Homo-oligomer: A and B are copies of this chain.
């Protein structure tokens, strides 16, 4: 299978997820065009920002990972589809988290916050599977890519953050939300190792 078309299809799905999530921001009906309306939308907006961040991070990581692929096997294709499946649920879970906020009590819905975390966890695990299959198809953990990913502390820490969020959502949903936020923020810390190793790999490829 052709890597280019897998990337194009995945890009399409990423782009649509990131754009339609905002459709869940309900447009205030007339005669409500006051600032008050904006306050009501704040929690949904916040949840949107978080989901946008996650999709952007996934797109970025996905881009780097796919660049290392020489041949797309059926197993890589289906691992990729599984990842996209969980990410397509983000618009729904984002809107539900946004709806579960009330001004008196803050984020108080356990169910939406647990479901949001479960979707993050399953997307993270699917990404992990996708990564492993790509490493296995390209020389295993001894390879350039395998070595780079072996030092990938973010990928190893993330699932535990989501898991903690899911558990904490049963007692303090707002704290779970804070955990999901921190789970996104760690990815914004630049980690140049993978890029460097890959660039070195490219240089080697160019040498020959």
List of B residues within 8 angstroms of A84 by Cβ: 18
A14 contacts chain B at the CB level, 8 A cutoff: yes
- Determine whether the beta carbon of A33 is less than 8 Å from that of B112: yes
**Which stretch (A88-96, A128-136, A178-186) binds chain B?**
A88-96
Instruction: Say whether chain A's binding surface is mostly helix, strand, loop, or mixed.
Output: helix
Within 8 A of B (CB), among A1-49: 1-2, 5, 7-9, 11-20, 22-25, 27-31, 33-35, 37-38, 49
| Tally of this chain's copies | 4
Stretch at the interface among A52-60, A139-147, A148-156, A157-165: A52-60
Chain A 169-184: CB-based contact to B (< 8 A → 1; otherwise 0) = 0000000000000000
Chain B residue with minimal CB distance to A107?
Answer: B33
Whether A18 touches B63, Cβ cut-off 8 Å, given contacts A24-B27, A37-B111, is: no
Chain B residues, CB < 8 A from A195: 74
In the complex, whether A81 has a CB less than 8 A from a CB of chain B is: yes
